Structure 1
Amino acid sequence: MRVFVTGATGFIGSAVVRELLDAGHQVTGLARSDTSAAALTAAGVEVRRGDLADPAGLAEGAAAADAVAHLAFIHDFSEDFDFAASVAADLRAIEAIGAALEGSDKPFVISSGAALLQGGGRLGTEEDTSVPGTFGAVRGRNEDVAIALADRGVRSAVVRFAPTVHGRGDHGFIHMLIGIAWEKGFAAYVGDGANRWPAVHRSDAARLVRLALENAPAGTRLHAVGEEGIAFRDIATTIGNHLGLPTRSITPEEAPPHFGWLAHVAALDVPTSNTLTRKWLNWDPTGPGLLEDLEEGHYFG
């Protein structure tokens, strides 16, 4: 297949591109900068210049492809990050690509997050949707729009990534937690730290996206989750040990000044199942677990 990939130079997207190329697919990657374009060219990828602010360009790229993996999302990890605006831009992209693929039966995979389930500690499954009125429901609408494309002749699927997709080169939540621990002089968890984060290794996440493009049934939600849930206390303890710093419990009131905008994420308890994903696509996560990956030391180099 010729696959059009948005977010092709990101941490996950670049691994997906390599996975697709190694499986014999051709890839066209969206690039919004000269640097991204050069990286894609070096990887043997055809370049399409553009960004999420150009729905017409996204539609053209989708129409010229046999399949689309929409992995781009505007992440601005700062105090001023406007999540709602990023979700709105993502929705416009989904709608534009979906319209271009309508009636084609072409595969269209979008990225989402397992954290949107926010099930109060209940194990989330692929059949669950976001809870109305919650923070996760803001992005949950985008999932619904993508899933509805199955009724319009698009083989659409949603891949929900674990809150931490880990591996060498990761600059996401784990990297941020390490930086906060250095700055504050200790690694922290909220309350008893029993809240759980699912996790997945980057290689397993990339393979799942490829399998979804190749074989996912129309209208399915899939979980890129290698581990159902790791106690946040264990994550903090491992970070503290590697940094030679103490690990402490902090109260919910102390979390915002300690973690900043990450306080909400640090307190999430979102254990997530991958049972149906494994069954539907014969996906078997084989990469190292999060704590094992942290023990390798590359996060602290």
Structure 2
Amino acid sequence: MHVFVTGASGHLGSAVVPELLEAGHKVVGLARSEASAGAVSAAGAEPFRATLDDLDALREAAEAADGVIHLAYKHDEMFSGDATTAVDSDRQALQTFGQALAGTGKPLVGTSGTLQLAFAGLGRTGTEADVLESGPRVDAENAVIALADNGIRSSVVRLPPTVHSSLDRHGFIPTLIDIARKQGFSAYVGDGANRWPAGHTLDAARLYRLALESAPAGSRLHAVGDEGITFRTIAQAIGHNLGVPVTALTPDQAADNFGFLAALVQLDNPTSSMRTQKLLDWAPTHPGLLEDFAQGHYFDSPNES
């Protein structure tokens, strides 16, 4: 299969592209810079020089492909406070892919997150059957699923907040470790009993490939290995590995310590992937988050993000 992948040189893309190539697919990867193009080429894929804002180029690449995996997102803009730009760019890219693939039966695999279920306040473990009405990433997810009615075999992979591995350089875990290094202590809020799910990068990459190859139209999929690790446990593991104390903060103290992550580190987000595992015969086989911590790669050198 000839697959067009956005975000091909990023954290997930650096695992998804090799996964696809090893399965015999041909990969064309979106590259917004010479450095990104070099990384895509080094991985064995063909770089396609454009950005998420080059809609004509995106349409051309999607029309030439047998399927699309959409990983790219303007995270820098979102975390800098310009969430509207990130959301609008993602929406326009998805609309373009929808127009290019309409009526073809070809697959489009989009990306979302499990944290949206935490914001919904389910009060229980989230599942693939949970569908929300609105929200920045929710609207994009629902738009992808709706494309199933337009002759596209569309699906969405919901990623947990911690997608971890030695490939993870700028995600939530490196950021939390960097905060703990700078503050001299690792922190959680309240009793730290709120839970975060986690998934290994390589397990997620395999799920994206399986979704491309065989996910039924309109599928929501969860790339989750650990259903829910208490945030206190995560903080304790970071503190242990850094050799710094672990501290409980009040909600009022969270912003000073965690910055833009203050609200997120207090969310309770237990999430199941049982339906995904049964649907696609997929199961996590790589180390869980705490096992990954024990391998040391997160703590070998300070985060350079």
The reply on whether 1:204 has 2:203 as its aligned counterpart is: yes
Aligned 8 A contact 1:175 1:299 in 2: yes
Q: Which residue of 2 aligns with 1:192?
A: 191
How many residue pairs match? The answer is 297
Aligned pairs for 1:1-301 (under 5 A) are 1-76=1-76, 80-118=80-118, 119-120=120-121, 121-130=123-132, 132=134, 137-170=135-168, 171-301=170-300
2:283 partner SS: coil
Q: Which amino acid in the other structure matches residue 202 of structure 1?
A: T
Residues of 2 paired with 1:42 and 1:172: CA distance? Answer: 23
Question: TM-score, normalized by length of structure 2?
Answer: 0.95
- Runs of 5+ in structure 1 lacking a partner? none
In structure 2, the CA distance between the partners of 1:262 and 1:169, relative to structure 1 (3 Å rule), is: same
Residues of 2 paired with 1:269 and 1:236: CA distance? Answer: 15
1:39 partner SS: helix
Shift of 1:226: 0.8
Shift of 1:169: 2.8
Residues of 2 paired with 1:179 and 1:152: CA distance? Answer: 45
Q: Which moved more, 1:64-73 or 1:123-132?
A: 123-132
2:41 partner SS: helix
1:5-55 deviation line (CA, Å, top 9, x unaligned): 000000101100000000000000000100111111122211111011111
Residues of 2 paired with 1:149 and 1:219: CA distance? Answer: 8
In structure 2, the CA distance between the partners of 1:292 and 1:131, relative to structure 1 (3 Å rule), is: farther
Q: Which amino acid in the other structure matches residue 246 of structure 2?
A: T
Residues of 2 paired with 1:188 and 1:147: CA distance? Answer: 38
Shift of 1:78: 7.9
Shift of 1:83: 2.1
Q: Identity, % of aligned pairs?
A: 57
- Runs of 5+ in structure 2 lacking a partner? 301-305
Aligned 8 A contact 2:167 2:201 in 1: no
Q: Which residue of 1 aligns with 2:303?
A: none
Q: Which moved more, 1:68-77 or 1:170-179?
A: 68-77
